[in-house]
Amino acid sequence: MRILRFLVLFAILGAAAGWYLTAPQPLAASDIPEREGDAEHGELIFWAAGCASCHAAEDAEGEDRLVLSGGRAFPSDFGTFYAPNISMDAGHGIGDWSEAEFLSAVMRGVSPEGQHYYPAFPYGTYARAGMADLQDLWTFMQTLPANATPSRDHDVGFPFSIRRALGGWKMLFTSDDWVMQGDDLSAEVMRGRYLVESLGHCGECHTPRNVLGGLDYANWLAGAPNPSGEGRIPNITPGALTWSASDIANYLRDGFTPEFDSAGGEMVEVIQNMAHLPDADRAAIAAYLRALPPLE
Amino acid sequence: MRSIHKAILAGVMLSVPLAASVQGAGHGDNPYAGHIAARQGLMQVQSFNIAILGGMARGNVDYDAAAAQTAADNLVAASGIDGRGFWPEGSDNAALGDATRALPAIWENMGGFGEAWMAYGAAVTGVADVAGDGLEALQGAIGPLGGACGSCHRNFRQSSE
């Protein structure tokens, strides 16, 4: 029954949005400033954006987290997605991509072949990133090793297998606007907003989704069912997360809760990423989370 | 120092059968209540000592070299307890529900579980090597310790929500 509802909605959506409107829109050359990328800064962006959490092999530790051979499975209501190889291998990875192709993939969710990516790849939030930061990221990623593991096809059934319809999904559910609005945000909260809402893509797991997989912004970061089927991803608004800002910042560095239990689940890898950031960035994330409206 | 070790070890050892009998009495439908109490108790002993170290590392309490060394030595002692008997087949959360957060993955990958425990042992030894050498040295060792806890919990413990 639920599937049927999906089908009907999806068909209506596809028809209404139309062929023209669903066309992939890569960045134009004129959108991209010419500049020399900074690999060292790009490494910070790499950790802030959590690239390794999906694209490194399952159970990769230490330096192996820089081998972006892909292969991890991400089950969802729409099928199982497999993270592709984004190592510097020219045949199986993205070693032969241009900077413009990389930026179009990350910010627009469009492949070099001009197809939409599935939003398991969080381009909807990376679209809020600064282009210079992503140019630095690309410069850094080009220093990473090549790996010849072939990417695995996603296991997604009809009608979700029609990638063109994702153009409608993007129109409906992605936005460049910040979720937290306000003219009087402190510089620290704004930095935290950038890290949480854009690079860190925290909302991808901590915010619930509607039947079509679009984020429910009214319940921003208020917790969601775990897409793997087991348990829930916690509410991290002050309505449920009562830790102090310094508790949050410390947790993101050493992985211990204020009671000195340890992180578990997916957060373990998130913390491995966050531990690479400067203290000020973890403090900014904490300040942002404390500034959220408390939701139950 | 050694006498403290002995006291802690004895306390842990004694508490195991005690906990087993207490828990076992009230949980007729869970044959592994005692085992679960034992492993959770062992985790709590560790968490308590990590809290002493972490509190100092985070600046919540003043650094005290002797107290830090004692807590770190306790962790090493606790990591040396042979707990293989605490993990009988069938004492996972798929079989027992809310009684435990131990995932069936432990028994599907006992080798990996053992390796994770050894890695934890290496991490606490790393902490004990430097815990008395000043705050900065201690702070440097807490991150790897958290990493060791997390990498085992990630694969083998159900998330709390």
Instruction: Name which of B50, B146, B159 is nearest A231 (Cβ-Cβ).
Output: B159
CB contact under 8 A, A255 and B154: no
- Predicted pLDDT at A13: 67
Q: Could you give the 3-state DSSP secondary structure of residue A67? A: coil
DSSP character string of B40-95: HHHHHHHHHHHHHHHHHHTTSS---HHHHHHHHHHHHHHHTS--GGG--TT-SHHH
Q: Which CATH architecture has domain A187-291?
A: Orthogonal Bundle (1.10)
Contacts of A233 in chain B (CB under 8 A): 161
Amino acid of residue A170: K
Interchain CB contact of A259 with B (< 8 Å) = yes
Q: Is the dihedral of CA A36, A40, A45, A46 positive or negative?
A: positive
Q: Report the number of distinct structural domains present in chain B.
A: 1
Q: What is the pTM of this model?
A: 0.87
ipTM over 0.85: no
> Does any domain span residue B111?
yes
User: Which 90-149 residues of chain B touch chain A by CB within 8 A?
Assistant: 142-143, 145-147, 149
Contacts of B154 in chain A (CB under 8 A): 263-266, 268-269
CATH number at residue B84: 1.20.120.10
pLDDT, greater one: A8 or A55: A55
> Does any domain span residue B75?
yes
CB contact under 8 A, B143 and A275: yes
- Token pair, residue A25, equals 């829109």
**Which residue has 């890695």 as its token pair?**
B119
> Does any domain span residue B27?
yes
- Token pair, residue B34, equals 């005692």
Peptide bond connecting A225 to the previous residue in cis, omega within 30 degrees of 0: no
B48: closest chain A residue by CA: A260
B52: closest chain A residue by CA: A260
Q: Which domain holds residue B151?
A: 2-156
Contacts of B51 in chain A (CB under 8 A): 259-260
DSSP character string of A27-40: PPGGGS------HH
Amino acid of residue A176: D
- Predicted pLDDT at A20: 79
> Does any domain span residue B161?
no
Contacts of B158 in chain A (CB under 8 A): 230-231, 264
Interchain CB contact of B84 with A (< 8 Å) = no
- Predicted pLDDT at A200: 97
**Which residue has 């790393």 as its token pair?**
B126
Interchain CB contact of A262 with B (< 8 Å) = yes
The CA distance from A115 to A92, in Å, is 17
Q: Kindly report the nearest CA distance between residue B149 and chain A, in angstroms.
A: 6
- Predicted pLDDT at A21: 83
Residue B56 exposure: Cα atoms within 13 Å on the Cβ side: 28
> Does any domain span residue B65?
yes
Q: For chain A, give every domain's residue range.
A: 25-173, 187-291
CB contact under 8 A, B160 and A223: no
Averaged pLDDT for residues A17-33: 87
Percent of chain A with pLDDT over 70: 98
Q: Kindly report the nearest CA distance between residue B151 and chain A, in angstroms.
A: 7
Q: Could you say which residues of chain B have pLDDT below 50? A: 1, 10-27
Closest CA to A138 of A108, A110, A176, A97: A97
- Predicted pLDDT at B16: 47
